[in-house]
Each structure stands twice: as structure tokens, then as C-alpha cells.
Amino acid sequence: MSTPTAPPELPVPSRPVARLLPAGNEIAEANPKDDKRRPDDLAAPVRTKRFETLIVFFVAWLVFSLIGYRVVVGQHIVPADALNLMSRAFYVWHNDPAKLAAVGFTSPPLQTVGLLPFAIIKPLATGLVALPIASGFWGALALSLLHRTMARCGISFGMRLGMVVLIALNPMWLFYSTTGMPDMIYVACLAAMVYFAFTWAVEDQPRFVAGVGLTLALMAMSRFGFIWWAISLAVVFTIILAARDAHEDEREGLLITLLAPIAAAIVIWILACLLIASDPFGWVLDAQPFGGVSTDDRTQPVSFLKILGHTGALTLGVAPLSLLAIVAFLGRDKDPYRIGLGQLILIIGGLVVIVVNAVIHNDLSLLTLRSALPIMLLGIATAIWIGRTLGGFGQFIGLVAMVVAIPLAAIAMDRYPYQNLEQAFMRGILNQRDQEGTASRGGYDVGIRPEQRMAAFIKALAGERKDTVLADNSTSGGVILLTGRPQVFVDRVDRGDESFLNILENPWGKVRYILAVRGANDGSINSRYPNATSGRTAGMTVVYTSGRYVLLSVATLNPRESARRAQETARARSIQQARRATTTTTTTTP
């Protein structure tokens, strides 16, 4: 009888395991070639309790919402993008029938999806109160994530509290957190990406790389321009992993973990556009990767000196903290794994994306203030990182830079030519007056009185009758939202573009009114009836005008058909009269 043999010992892959972080704040000397892996060379993050982050979030949300209520409802500073996207979110819940397709398939979907929870309550949405609540939520979320990142990087409570307050007081941050602008959605996603990236840098846990990849995918679905950031991030992670002397299989695995979510998001979005809109790549034609242009339809030709000057003005006005990336790079002796170099690469890559977009379209006005918001947040992240690597001195530099950034942002918002009501916001904050009817840089007329008056007139005219007014929701969304009665309108959301355009081609007897917008490049109403708003289209009569909005009464019969019938009636009458005359002549002849 044979004796049982012991199972063979299998080789176990040897991988250095990082010991627990030291309790002190000292930074030990590190050698990337040592066997000991991260995070042995970095100080432990400052402990922070969950309630501290929650307090930062809820206090910031409350403050942003209250200020936003005063700005939006009281001073009537309502950006067109915010009004349009809130109207789309409103259609999802309250259109007749309600449709998720109202999100749209040409603009980034997360902009509208991020507003959906705040459009559920109808009075809040139609009263525009939901705008500051929504942007305030995302602004507060971004702020709380930055606060959490500061704690991860070892910044003390008093210092990080001061930094959080300075970030919130920055006029650019305040404007986009209080006026309902959708940009704070991708700013919050970017803040989450910074948190995961820095936590990975501190703790060397691969699961945080998955967080970076997921937030990058969310950013891409909130602004398509972030798709190009995947290249910069891949380069940065490759440099960091090389400095860490990571194994080849680890490098490949982490890069796949980083890039897989954004690749999956792009594929899913293409399939959704193909199956629902039958246009899988229409969104690629979007010329606004980080925000729209001014309302001036004239493009501003690009020249080397102009684009250099405007890029410098954007950097100094919106993202002066990004210059701290140079300090982080020069302090690489205390940053052996090149995190500072990675931030410098991301900042330069972000600037290149918006500059190349302007050059491709030969339009300088694409360099708006909002296009530099991602660079602004990367600058804040750089200030946080040098606060870790350079200790108290680095934290002091970051704090001073945040103080200096406040007046620089105020000057840029007042003087920079390409913007979205930032000048009106600064003026309203300073003089506390209603901005309705005033002008703002970029060719904007401030206020929503034309939309309010047209909405009130349509409510009185149409009542609750369904499918009474034909309107293109891409240009008249604000009016539809303010009526609170989407069932009154026939628009693109109801049955799709094809049905809408068919009714537009032959509206006679199908709708009683058409809502047109003067000067709007809508590709629908103005293209089909270019003279309607001036009252020179047969079968359409101007009923009411409010600003650029014109309400047209539509005849029940096609003017051509009406003219044909009139001709036939006239011909029949003339024949009948001729017969009567002939009969009379015959009767009177002896």
C-alpha cells in the first residue's frame, strides 16, 4: 500500500507589500528602484470624519442655492444654456408623453441627466428655482471632494477650511455654482477624478485607478472634449508607473483599467445614437468641446498673436493656480514619482485641446471663459499637491495663490470678450440691482422678460388645449418651460424630428399657431418660412411679438389650396353669370 505524497508547492509570485503609513507628517526619502513600494515614502493623510465632509457639502449647497435664487429669480441673470438644458430635463418628466429622448443625441447627455432630479417638482422647474439648486448641488459636491482630497494629502483642518472658503468665493466658481450652468457637473466629475488619482498616489491601491477611469468616462459624457484627455492621462500614468518601477503586467493592467470605462461609454453612446436617432456620429460634429460661443454670429478669425494673447488671458484670469504646476515640477526632488510633472502635462494638454478646437474652426470666440474651467480645477489640484510635497511652505503658497486668483477672476469676468453673462453676474453682485434689459459682453441681452411675456400670452391664448402651438424646443425651450404646459406644444420631443418636420411642411389645419424665433439658426421654422416673422408669408399672420419671439397664426387651409379654390369659385361664378346673361338675352329677344 503506497503512502500518500504531499501536494507539490506552487510558486507564489513575489510582490512587495506596502506597510502601513507612518503616523507622522515627515516625508521619508524614497528611491523608486528600492524593493519597498508606495506609500512608504509619503506621510499619512490627515484623518477626517465623514460628518466634516457632509457639513462642507450641505453648507456650500445652501449658500450657493440662496445666492443663486437672488441672482436668477431676483436679478434675472439666466444663461441660455442653463434654461435650455433645464427645459430638456423638464420634458423628460412632464412632456405629453414623457420621453427620455428629450435628453438629446447631439449634445453630451450627462448635462441633462444631471439636472433630472431637480426638474421633477414642476413649480420649482417652471419658476427657475431649480436652476441654482441644481448647479449649487454639483458645485458643493465638487467643493466637498476637493476638501476630502486636501485631507488625503495631509493638509490640516484650518488650512483646508481656508482653501475651501477661498475656492467658493472665487467669482468664476460662484457664477457657475449659482446660475444653473451645466459645467459644474463635469467640474464635480473632475474633482472626483483628482480625489481618486491622489488617493492612488498616496496609498498605491489599484482600485482607485478604476475610480479615475469611471470619472473620466463621466466627464466625457458631460463634455465631449474630455475624450482627448484620455491620451494625456495615459501618458501621465505611464510616466508615474515608470518612476515607480512597476512591473510590465501591472502597467498594462492599470492602463486598461484607466481607459476601459471611457471606451465603453463611447461605444454605448454610439449604439444609442444609432438605434434611437439613426445618426451614430452626429455628436462628433459638435464644435463646442468646452462650451459655446458668444451670441455674435460672426466668427473671429484666428491669428497666432491673438490666440497666444487670449490663451494667456484665460490662464491668468481663470486658472492662475495652474502656474503652480511649474513649482510642482521644479520641486521634483520631493516628488520622486513625478505627480507634479503629470499635472503639468494635463494642464498643457487641456489648453491644447481648446486652442486646437479654435484653430480648426478658425474662430477665436470658441476660447470662452468657461472653456478654461477644467484648467482652473487642475490648478487647484496642483496647489493641493504642492501643499503635500512642500509641506507648510507649499500650503502657504497655495493659499496666497487662491487669494490672488479672486481679483484676477473678477477682472477677467468684467473685461474678457468671449463669455456667458459673467460680466452681468459681477455687475449684479456689486450693485445688487435687477439686470433685466442690460447688456453683457459676448453679445448677450440679460433677462428673460421676452420669454416670460410670450409664455403668459400663450397660456392665456391656448389654455390647456393640446397640440395648439408648433415650436422648435431647441430654440423655444425657455418659453415652453415657463408656460409649464408642454402638452400645448407640438415639438421635436413629442414624436421625433421626422414627424415635427412633416407637420412644419404642411401645418395648415394641424396646428393653430407657430412660435418662431427671429435670427435663430434652427434648421426648421426659419429655414422653411424665412419671411414669416416679418409677416410676409401667405397663410401666416403675426399675432404677438415679445423680443425675438414671434407668435404666428396659421390658416386652416394651405394658401395655395385656398387660392385654387378661390379661383375655381370665381370661375364657377363667372360661368354662372354668363349663363344667366345668355338666358336673359334669349328671353328678351322677340
**Chain centroid, CA 574 distance in Å:** 65
In this predicted structure, the answer to whether residue 25 has a pLDDT above a threshold of 70 is no
Sheet of 513-517: strand order equals 489-490, 469-471, 513-517, 549-554, 540-546
In this predicted structure, the answer to whether residue 33 has a pLDDT above a threshold of 50 is no
In this predicted structure, the answer to whether residue 266 has a pLDDT above a threshold of 60 is yes
Task: Give me the pLDDT at residue 12, please.
Answer: 43
Average pLDDT over residues 362-389: 91
Task: Give me the pLDDT at residue 255, please.
Answer: 92
Q: What is the DSSP letter of 162?
A: H
| Stretch among 19-33, 317-331, 394-408 having the lowest mean pLDDT | 19-33
- Say if residue 32 is preceded by a cis peptide, omega within 30 of 0: no
Task: Give me the pLDDT at residue 123, please.
Answer: 92
How many percent of the chain have pLDDT more than 90?
45
HSE toward the beta carbon, residue 460, CA cutoff 13 A: 7
Q: In sequence order, which residues have a C-beta less than 8 Å from that of residue 142 and are 6 or more positions away?
A: 184, 187, 188, 190, 191, 377
Quick one: pLDDT band at residue 588, thresholds 50, 70, 90?
low
Where in the chain are the domains? 200-288, 299-416, 449-559
Q: In sequence order, which residues have a C-beta less than 8 Å from that of residue 319 and are 6 or more positions away?
A: 347, 372, 375, 376, 378, 379
In this predicted structure, the answer to whether residue 328 has a pLDDT above a threshold of 80 is no
Average pLDDT over residues 330-338: 71
Task: Give me the pLDDT at residue 531, please.
Answer: 85
292 closest CA partner among 391, 363, 395: 363
In this predicted structure, the answer to whether residue 278 has a pLDDT above a threshold of 60 is yes
In this predicted structure, the answer to whether residue 330 has a pLDDT above a threshold of 80 is no
Separation CA 474–CA 478 (nearest Å): 9
Separation CA 588–CA 590 (nearest Å): 6
pLDDT digits (tens, 9 = 90+) for 396-454: 999 999 999 999 999 999 999 998 899 999 999 999 899 998 989 888 889 999 999 99
How many Å from the N-terminal Cα to the C-terminal Cα in the chain? 149
The more confidently predicted of residues 527 and 435 is: 435
In this predicted structure, the answer to whether residue 7 has a pLDDT above a threshold of 60 is no
52 closest CA partner among 155, 134, 138: 155
CB atoms within 10 A of CB 250: 13
Dihedral (CA of 209, 211, 213, 215) sign: negative
Task: Give me the pLDDT at residue 39, please.
Answer: 44
Average pLDDT over residues 258-278: 88
Average pLDDT over residues 378-392: 90
Task: Give me the pLDDT at residue 3, please.
Answer: 54
In this predicted structure, the answer to whether residue 275 has a pLDDT above a threshold of 70 is yes
Write down the mean pLDDT value for the chain: 84
149 closest CA partner among 219, 211, 232: 211
Quick one: pLDDT band at residue 585, thresholds 50, 70, 90?
low
Task: Give me the pLDDT at residue 528, please.
Answer: 84
pTM score, two decimals? 0.85
Task: Give me the pLDDT at residue 205, please.
Answer: 83
**Chain centroid, CA 314 distance in Å:** 18
Record the cell numbers describing residue 209, joined without a space: 485607478
Question: Looking up cell 503506497, which residue turns up?
Answer: 2
Q: In sequence order, which residues have a C-beta less than 8 Å from that of residue 524 and are 6 or more positions away?
A: 472, 500, 501, 504
